[in-house]
Structure formats: C-alpha cells, structure tokens
Amino acid sequence: MLGKIGLIGGGYIGGVLTQEIVQRRLAREVGLTDPAPFVNPDDPPERQEVQKKQSVAKGKCLDIAEGTPTIRSDVRCVASKDYSALAGSELIINTAGVPRKARPDGTFPSREELLTINLKVTKQVAEGIKQYCPKATIISIANPLDAIVYTLDKALKPPKNKLFGMAGQLDSGRYCYFVAEAAKISVENVNAMVLGGHGDDMVPVRSTCQIAGIPVGKFLDEATLAAIEARTRKAGGEIVGLLGFGSAFVSPAWAALEMAEAIIYDKKKIIPVCAKLEGEYGVKGLFVGVPAIVGAGGVEKVIELELSAAEKEAFAKSISAVSKTCAEVDQMLAAI
C-alpha cells in the first residue's frame, strides 16, 4: 500500500481509477484533481458563480467516500479543482485532456488530432506536478500518448525510470481478447504484446503471441491472425465509434492499474510500457512501447526482443510516426 496516489483528470478514466484504488486499497489516500466544470467567461455572472462552486472531482470523490463504509475501505479521498489535492503523492496517474469523440457523421479524430489542445493541458499538468509532488513516479494515459509523455519529460526532466506511459498493456489486452475469442480459449491462457507507438501503426508482435505457451499459429490460421492484428490496431477507434460520447475508459484504467500494482507491490513484472529509449531498439530520446520490468523503481529495465524481419520493419514505421508527432510537439511547444 502506498501513502498517496494522485490522479490528474477526474473524467471517465479518472472516475474508474478512483473507485478501483479505493476498492483495491492501493493507498492510504487518493487525491483527485480536475478543473471541471470550467468557468465560462461568456456566461452571465450568476451562472459563473454556480460553475465556480461545482466540482466534478469533489463530487466523484464524495460519492465514492460515502460508499466506503459499505465496502469497508478506509482509503481516504480528497479532491480539488486546482492541483492541491496532489500534495504528497508518491504515484501520479495522468488522464487530463480531451478524449476522442465521434462526430455527428460517425467519423472521429485520430489521437494525433488531439495534440493542440492536450499539449496546453499537459503544460498545466506538469506545473501541478512540479508544485505538489515533484518526486512522484508518473504513469500517463492522456492522448496522443507518446507525445504527451514526451512533453511531460521535457517539462519535468524526471529520472527516466520514473515517467512512462500506459498503452501497451491496453493494446496487448485487446490483442489477447480477440485471439481468445477466435480460438475459443480462456483469456487467462493468452499472452501477447503490442509494441511501438500508440497509434494506427502500433505493432501486434505475432512472435510473442502464445496460448498456454504454445505459438498461436497452432490455433489460428494466417488470415484470422492478420484480421485480428488489423482490428487490434484500430480497436480504440472501434470503441469511440460505438460509444458516441468519448473513448474507452474501463480497460485503460485497469491497464494503468496493472502497472501501478507492479510498482506498489514491487512485482518486477514484464509489461509493455511506453518508456524512454536511450539506444535500445536503436532509438534515442523517444518514448515508445517496449516490454520492461516494472517494480518499485518504476521502469527498471527495458527488454530488447529479437523481432522478425517483418516485425522490425513495422516497428521502424511506428517509430517514425512517433518521431514525426514529437517533432510537431517541439514546434508547438515553442509557440505556446
């Protein structure tokens, strides 16, 4: 159990995270921050007064706190509209920003199209962390994932083991689920990793995909696996299209908690995480999805896999997409 976990963003994912942390008793205290509802300067003054008093974070925390006697959990919940509820957090999970949302015509933006708005939010998030919990280990979920983690790194310059992104666990979970469903085998038996960037060029790594330790090719044919891997790359968008109001929020929260529990219990668990590479896989200075040992020290070691020629090529393509977005980040940060 940690002393305190801080959550930045109290929307859909932040709400599930708060609830799960309280239920699983992962810390003595959870601090939730979210500025919503925002005060709209164009609204009449009396409406603005109402908006100032309202707080999504405080409302969600009070709701959960009032349930703690029922579930017999002594985890305390604190909340704020500024970043003060983060004070003293040892672990931060960041979900601040705008998610993908279906447009009226059913299309939806790419994760990269969220960049402009979410970069501004991320600058504020970094200031909040600097002020209230500069030593915390940080797991970031906000999209575009690789670019937001890169931005936090530029702003905070933490030790490289203490800042990483959650994407690989979620994308791998999707890959495993589709394989289990097609093979009609328990999800508990399926292992697979998705690496690279958290965009449409992500790389479901076939050579890591096994059912009870047996290569997946024994259970599913080439065409089925190719279709599953294509669906995995677009799985986030599939949910955005179905929900209509936003993007996936339960599976991302659970995936981040998989990483959080590896830290809290010093599990030394191999998890695909978005980690800073300094030469591994031939990449320098970018945050990319790779398998890593996660424990009390955060990302304790990046594992370099022997990829097949096709996997290497797909990985290189994914890295070049991440690199392009980070170059845009550099330009945009200079302008805001």
Residues belonging to the active site: 198
Q: Does the protein bind ligand APR through residue 6 (CB under 6 A)?
A: no
Q: Does the protein bind ligand APR through residue 190 (CB under 6 A)?
A: no
Burial class (CB in 10 A: 0-12, 13-18, 19+), 59: middle
Beta strand 163-165 with 137-140 is parallel
Q: Does the protein bind ligand APR through residue 168 (CB under 6 A)?
A: no
* Per-position DSSP letters for 96-140, written without gaps between them: -SPPP---TTS----GGGGHHHHHHHHHHHHHHHHHH-TT-EEEE
Q: Which two tokens stand for residue 124?
A: 């504020």
Chain residues 23-52 in contact with ligand APR, contact rule CB under 6 A = 33-36
Out of 210, 246, 293, 301, point to the residue binding ligand APR (CB under 6 A): 246
Q: Of the two residues 99 and 289, which places its CB atom closer to ligand APR in the complex?
A: 99
Q: Does the protein bind ligand APR through residue 241 (CB under 6 A)?
A: no
Alpha carbon distance 299, 144 (integer Å)? 20
Q: Does the protein bind ligand APR through residue 204 (CB under 6 A)?
A: no
**Burial annotation 89-108 (CB, 10 A radius, 16+ → b, else e):** bbbbbbbbbbbbebeeeeeb
Segment near ligand APR (CB under 6 A); pick from 46-54, 120-128, 214-222, 316-324: 120-128
Least CB distance to ligand APR at residue 13 (A): 3
Write the CB contacts of 49 (distance below 8 Å, at least 6 apart in sequence): none
Q: Does the protein bind ligand APR through residue 12 (CB under 6 A)?
A: yes
Q: Does the protein bind ligand APR through residue 139 (CB under 6 A)?
A: no
Interface positions with ligand APR (CB under 6 A)? 8-14, 33-36, 56, 95-97, 99-100, 121, 124-125, 141-143, 246-247, 249, 252
